[in-house]
Structure 1
């Protein structure tokens, strides 16, 4: 239960907003309980502020490095997930889990839910809870008999599953940026103002009038606490509902709700309690109200919010409290096991009820109408349109016998408690083949931990020696072990091969997947070793790792990775200058190879070169399959992109030269082929379905399973006008075949008999772009060399590169060295 001790006062509003360093008692002066409470808070403020500054990570749980504290063990459902024992720090608070074999369903405040089954965030909720000696008898000293003892403040906690209403989106990522998570962890924004009664105006100057304000002759600590309300549907309720101001219910106690008794027996609505009454004036009495509470209510108020637990007292003795008949159902539910249930005293409001309901004020809907709480006092709730209250939100103020109250005049304050903090622990994906988690805790190293630091030797490169063998690196690999700024001598550093690495030698000893080498640091904390790498593997980087190990060989932290490589022409980058020939090369090896192929070559081309490949449609649009000296293999074009023909242009030796070849129109110098899905005709579809299955249309082939190549009908001619080259024209029927492709869908469409094919079970498949091949027989395309009168043939076999257009381009300037080679180009026809 959140702080409910009957203290002198809990809130001290000093004019200086800085936190006091300590309490200073005065000689001969009274030392109040409030002073002792304040001293403990001063010390806690100092400790928790320093802890948060040193290890704090806002909104996350910080744990000692290597600790299993609150580590989540995945399971198929959230309730079965494990929670590691140990301690961590949340905003400076020390949060402890001392429960062995702890699961969500048996943690100190259990969460047995198995929903949701999708990806969830397992979150930690921590709050400051007051443990009364009634709950923990060990806090009372038997030597004092029945004297009441002080309780203890405890940082209590619960781990619960959380999933937002709209889902997580693409990435769970510990969820702290999710709007629903931010609403969940945001503090309550509702406010409360204490309004003392005003002194009425005097009608007769000779008459005394009642004084306004607090009217009781005793010093009391009032507590106003949120009891319930209308849940807000726009806020998550994983750890309890959030309420708006309108319809909010509050309850009141004049002793900070500090009167608590344990329930030991239930008989109807009569509850036998322990300990018995010590002060009849401060005990359960007829007309007051009692709340049946559980030790779980403060941490997880969901059940308390769903089930009414505050009832009026009908009768009371020192050891038994009889509640109104409305408590019958709840009393019966705890009859068989009353352990962990308690009875808490609340005062009746002036109208005799145990709770008051807030209503918006007529003059300002952001505030409630004043709510009388008795003794000359009233309270007013507020918060505006985005007011948020939680069950258990409370305010305390001291009322003194002189008629004063410890509350700033007309000031609205947010709840004084409970203090609640949240942190994501882990994301859980129980739907995977093996449930998995992502740890959201933040590990923190101790100031005295040893640390392995890099000191030099990484990234070396050496020439590869002929014949292979191990080659020593010129620089030694150096690491240091430090504790803060102090070197650690005698620390053990182990050198090993990383996973999937290459064996090497460290200090002359082989390091591979089995063997490693250990050495100790010197007086300066340094460890330096010689490293030799294998010259037989110049194709990849070589790596070795160093890790700090304990005396038992256990790693203390992550390893440091060292990388080395051999310098080769293929591994050395090259930046082309003004040489056009080398513009596409990126390494020295590529540049050397290209220069070698061009050494001693003629000044004039020995082959004809393609300069453009254009697809022409009947709307006058063109698609160029040769752009920036790249032949664009794999390009997707419209289905009728070449319904008007394909033009191929060539570069001739001189301006006066022309193509000398004279093909017949029907010669297959230019071939255009398409890969149609097979089977493509209705009879073929029926045949393969029936031949592979049964006559009822089940179990057979019901979709295309291959392709059949078809050469399109067309004619070819040599063109001399404009750019010289070849022009392929499709026949009239071939043009119609291309232009009607959306209707026949390359053979996917079922035409006739439609009913028979569909009844057979034929479903077809998704219509994908079809492959189209363009081939030019280069041996039939030639010109004459004007100097030698020898034929110069088309060389259309080009070499591939990796560019950004299609990823399958051919570079026109990189040709095959043979004199003539065919062009074999492919692209795709798309129905979109």
Structure 2
């Protein structure tokens, strides 16, 4: 989650049940957020214990699929409305009911506007092509459904929504000069296909149980295995005489929440090795995009101050809702010029085709804070990001260092959060009894999966959902 947080401290292994405020104390965002995450954890754990890995209420279960083979139009899946639980997370496939506009007043000699009451009612569910969080495009061959047989499954994760993506979150009475107040999380989902070309093959005569077992093996193989540790150490000396070598503690001027995020997934080495980026503001420095014209990008604002603004040399990522949902890892671009009067920036290259051109997809630009420093352990740059180096300490800045464990498999979007504090001169990171930093699995993004249907043909769709009756009958 790329929010402007001081830190996120919820840890299930501590077995806390509530956060209680004390009188006369400072109120912190981290305490309130811990309670919110604690409530989610308790509710979802209970639901998973009762329902199992996945299931829906009988008579109201969502994500029932029907298959429409390719004809004049591409093959399609119809997704029934309803509710389904995946690892205790409520996922709703119902389409919101559109409102009806008030009819415009018309002159006496003009036909009356009745608000178009004869229009066909909106469908209750979704289809493969118009589902809200998948952003499938008929013009993209890679998005088309494969020929049967294939498995249809649902992919679920928790997405962060800011005022850039949903302007209604911002309180307009506060004006545009003040920052937004809060952010939201939402359960996002995608119904996707899985076939033999993806390495999924349960066998020609596989039944539902065999298909589910094969899917569990595929999910296990798709999990990230990357691990990271963090610490503070004395930064290396540089040739710049203006820099004073700090001691072994964190020497940053402010408290920060560092975010280390995998940009391009994969392994270390090979033609497309894994890369990462980092931010001292948890990746929360974002700017809404008004227009893209070649390498010039016009923004809704340039930032409240120098700390949260843009400068020449900054590395940025151009995104929108579709790029985020599809885990695109496009090359990062460098800011080459800042036109403060016009509210625009010149980038080192044109943003990827199809990204940030549609205002309905809420385009935005995210600033990252890594630079080519030439310091000890500095990784090699690759398309604007930094190559993952395993088995050694890598300097970020001001004494903050990270270590990637060997033989990791990384997924785009994997991230770790590292709070750094000026008063202690340290980063907050778990340690063993000897004070050594502990390797941690990614703090997110946690993705959950459930099989929905084994599609063998237009009339051969095996429902893999599980359903449960109500407790009260």
* 1:190 corresponds to 2:250: no
> How far 1:325 sits from its partner (Å)?
3.4
Counterparts of residues 331-410 of structure 1 (less than 5 Å): 333-334=354-355, 337-340=358-361, 341-351=363-373, 354-359=384-389, 367-384=390-407, 387-402=408-423, 403-408=425-430, 409-410=436-437
1:259 to 1:71, Cα distance in 2 relative to 1, 3 A: same
**1:153 aligns to 2:185 (yes or no):** yes
Question: Could you tell me how far apart the structure 2 residues matched to 1:70 and 1:183 are?
Answer: 19
Selected match of 1:96 from 89, 92, 99: 92
Summarize the alignment of residues 28-427 of structure 1 with structure 2, pairs less than 5 Å apart.
28-55=24-51, 57-58=52-53, 60=54, 62-76=55-69, 79-99=75-95, 100-108=124-132, 109-112=134-137, 113-146=143-176, 147=178, 148-164=180-196, 165=199, 167-169=201-203, 170-171=205-206, 173=208, 175-178=211-214, 181-183=217-219, 186-198=222-234, 210-229=246-265, 243-246=266-269, 247-301=273-327, 304-305=328-329, 308-317=330-339, 320-327=343-350, 330=352, 333-334=354-355, 337-340=358-361, 341-351=363-373, 354-359=384-389, 367-384=390-407, 387-402=408-423, 403-408=425-430, 409-427=436-454
Deviations 1:419-455 (Å, cap 9, x if unpaired)?
110000111112xxx4321111111111122xxxxxx
Supply the distance in 2 between the matched residues of 1:144 and 1:285 (Cα, whole angstroms). Answer: 27
Contact 1:298 / 1:392 at 8 angstroms: preserved in 2? no
CA distance in structure 1 between the aligned counterparts of 2:335 and 2:299, rounded to whole angstroms: 14
For the structure 1 residues 13 and 80, does the alpha-carbon distance in structure 2 shift closer, same or farther, using more than 3 Å as the test?
A: closer
CA distance in 2, matches of 1:334, 1:357: 24
Counterpart of 2:426 in 1: which secondary structure? coil
Is this contact kept in 1: 2:235–2:398, CA < 8 A?
A: no
Cα–Cα, structure 1 residues 11 and 172, in superposed 2: closer, same or farther, change >3 Å?
A: farther
Q: Return structure 1 stretches of 4+ with deviation > 4 angstroms.
A: 183-186, 332-336
Specify the alignment match of 1:772 in structure 2.
Answer: none
CA distance in 1, matches of 2:386, 2:316: 15
- How far apart are the structure 1 equivalents of 2:221 and 2:338? 41
Q: How many residues align?
A: 405
Give the direction of change, closer, same or farther, for the CA distance of 1:335–1:225 in structure 2 (3 Å limit): closer
Structure 1 segments unaligned to the other structure (5+ residues): 201-207, 230-242, 360-366, 450-832
8 A contact 1:104–1:110 mirrored in 2: no
Taking the aligned partners of 2:183 and 2:275, their CA distance within structure 1 comes to 28
> Could you tell me how far 1:336 is from its partner in structure 2?
5.3
Within-5 A mapping of 1:490-569: none
After TM superposition, the structure 1 = structure 2 runs for residues 804-823 of structure 1, keeping only pairs within 5 Å, are none
Residues 1:439 and 1:209: Cα distance change in structure 2 (over 3 Å)? closer
RMSD between aligned residues: 2.6
Q: 2:112 matched to which residue of 1?
A: none
Alpha-carbon distance change, 39 to 130 in structure 1, aligned in 2, over 3 angstroms: same
Q: Specify which of 11, 16, 19 is matched with residue 20 of structure 1.
A: 16
**1:289-313, CA deviations, whole angstroms, 9 ceiling, x for partnerless residues?**
1101121334322xx23xx341111
Between the aligned partners of 2:14 and 2:301, the Cα distance in structure 1 is 42
CA distance in 1, matches of 2:67, 2:206: 18
C-alpha distance 349-299 of structure 1, shift in aligned 2 (>3 A): same
Aligned twin of 2:462: 438
Shift in alpha-carbon separation, 1:183–1:445, aligned structure 2, 3 A: closer
Q: Is the 8 A contact 2:391 2:406 kept in 1?
A: no
Say if 1:292 and 1:344, in contact at 8 Å, map to a contact too: yes
Higher Cα radius of gyration: 1
Q: TM-score, normalization: structure 1?
A: 0.46
Alpha-carbon distance in structure 1 between the residues aligned to 2:274 and 2:325: 20
Closer, same or farther: CA 213–91 of 1 in aligned 2, 3 Å: same
Tell me what 1:531 maps to.
Answer: none
Once residues 344 and 135 of structure 2 are traced to their aligned partners in structure 1, the CA distance between those partners, rounded to angstroms, is 29
How far apart, CA to CA, are the structure 1 residues paired with 2:158 and 2:81? 20
Q: Secondary structure at the match of 1:95?
A: strand
My pick for the range that moved more, 42-51 or 153-162, is 42-51
C-alpha distance in structure 2 between counterparts of 1:126 and 1:185, whole Å: 17
State the shift of 1:350 in Å.
4.3
Given that 1:111 and 1:159 are in contact with CA atoms closer than 8 Å, whether structure 2 keeps it comes out as no
SS of equivalent residue, structure 2 residue 451: strand
Shift of 1:199: 8.1
Question: Kindly tell me: are residues 138 and 74 of structure 1, through their superposed partners in 2, closer, same or farther at Cα, counting changes over 3 Å?
Answer: same
- Secondary structure of the structure 1 residue equivalent to 2:292: strand
Trace 1:528-677 onto structure 2 (pairs within 5 A): none
The answer to whether the 8 Å contact 1:195/1:378 transfers is yes
Unaligned runs of 5+ in 2: 96-123, 138-142, 237-243, 375-380, 431-435
Change (3 A) 1:221 1:166: closer
8 Å CA contact 1:79–1:111 kept in 2: the answer is no
Seen in structure 2, the aligned counterparts of structure 1 residues 245 and 251 have a Cα distance that, compared at 3 Å, is: same
Report what 1:7 is aligned to.
5
Deviation of 1:104 after TM superposition, in Å, equals 0.7
Q: How does 1:760-799 map to 2 (within 5 A)?
A: none
Structure 1 residue 142, shift from structure 2 partner: 1.2
Distance in 1 of aligned mates of 2:22 and 2:80: 47
